[in-house]
Amino acid sequence: MDTKTHSKPSVPAVKPAERVEAHEENPWRQAMEQLDRAGKAMKLEPFALERLRHPKRILTVSVPVKMDDGTVKVFEGYRIQHNMDRGPAKGGIRFHPQVSLDEVKALSFWMTMKCAVVNLPFGGAKGGVICDPKLMSKGELERMTRRYTAEISLIIGPDKDIPAPDVNTNEQVMAWMMDTYSMGLGYACPGVVTGKPLEIGGSLGRREATGRGVFYVTRELAARRGFDLRKAPIIVQGFGNVGSNAAKIFAEHGCKVVGISDVAGGLYDPKGLDVPDILHYRETHDTIAEYPKAEHVAVDKILEMPCDILIPAAMEGAITNVNAARIQAKVIVEGANGPTSNEADRILAAKGVTIVPDILANAGGVTVSYFEWVQDMQSYFWSEKDVNARLQDIIVAAFTDVYNIAEKEKVDMRVAAFMLGLGRLGKAATIRGMYP
């Protein structure tokens, strides 16, 4: 679409808030507010609630790396195990300049909840290194990854804590982590991480799993609410692993994706974007922002464009008190972790927007990570058809449980998901008791 001859779709004339509220900028505070809200709604036992306020273990490490120019730079890294009452800890590793202790704490908490919602035998963990991978060579990134892995190897392992990819980490990073850990043992240990290449114990279907899970929950919501998903315009904010695969899978099922964005800019076409062509374009370009066959939209405006279904699939804190009132979507399906602030939740609820929360909507990734771990531990691997079928079974069952709780208890789907997860966590904590 020629941007010079097509006008931008109008958005409601709503006076925005001047700034993001201070408490919205702290993901740990946001997470604890969600815990309090759900705990109060279900009258969770104080003992269980208090345990979930405190991560089980926080490890902060320094990561010295010899850079290509011969200098040594020291990065700061974290690995947090939030809760392990239901099994080994599970959670991703992110490399990003905005990584912080409170962010990693919140992400580890959301992983605890996510695993409980989809009833996996895992607790929650998360890790990160404060760095900018875009400014690092492949060699520097490998040396940093290996040193970080060595520093956290005290607490990770296939029976203790199993990392996975997250923002700015991928199959190659997981391969380096697996190799570094295995060198310390003297033998290959593929079960120490998930999201690995197939050649060293990865699982078919893992790369697409989070986006596929987003599709499954959206399809289930459409069936429950009685609308035709193929006629509901969709916007996907973020074009990393989650967003690109979600857009691809929706398009494969005949749905109309009208908006897509990455970190540099957005694309919009009310008639529907050619998702396969955009994916092909990205193979030879650093960003999709200059893709020539669609209207160009500022990255901070893509969330506000006309659509029925909005999928925030980038970083946390995308939807806040500043922009929530201008969002035109009727349904938000959270592909990212923590993309909607609690204040934005309240604004959107007043507008009648349905939100499928992150701890349900993007649980496809950890579900297939669980499948990968099981396959590694058994040294027996499944077909992609089996992986996707089992993923669908688990995600649909979890969606059904959450939706039914929301209907029965007259709460929104975020509170319902927390109630489901907290019920399982509370029982586990009570049954296990306290030591000593």
- Active site amino acids: 126
User: What's the gap between Cα 4 and its chain centre?
Assistant: 36
The C-alpha atoms of residue 33 and residue 24 are separated, in whole angstroms, by: 11
HEC sequence for the chain: CCCCCCCCCCCCCCCCCCCCCHHHHCHHHHHHHHHHHHHHHHCCCHHHHHHHCCCCEEEEEEEEEECCCCCEEEEEEEEEEEECCCCCEEEEEEEECCCCHHHHHHHHHHHHHHHHHCCCCCEEEEEEEECCHHHCCHHHHHHHHHHHHHHHCCCCECCCEEEEECCCCCHHHHHHHHHHHHHHHCCCCHHHCCCCCHHHCCCCCCCCHHHHHHHHHHHHHHHHHCCCHHHCCEEEECCCHHHHHHHHHHHHCCCCEEEEEECCEEEECCCCCCHHHHHHHHCCCCCCCCCCCCEEECCCCHHHCCCCEEEECCCCCCECCCCHHHCCCCEEECCCCCCECHHHHHHHHHCCCEEECHHHHCCHHHHHHHHHHHHHHHCCCCCHHHHHHHHHHHHHHHHHHHHHHHHHHCCCHHHHHHHHHHHHHHHHHHHHCCCC
436: how many CB neighbours lie within 10 A of its CB? 2
What backbone phi and psi angles, to 5 degrees, belong to 81?
Answer: -105, 110
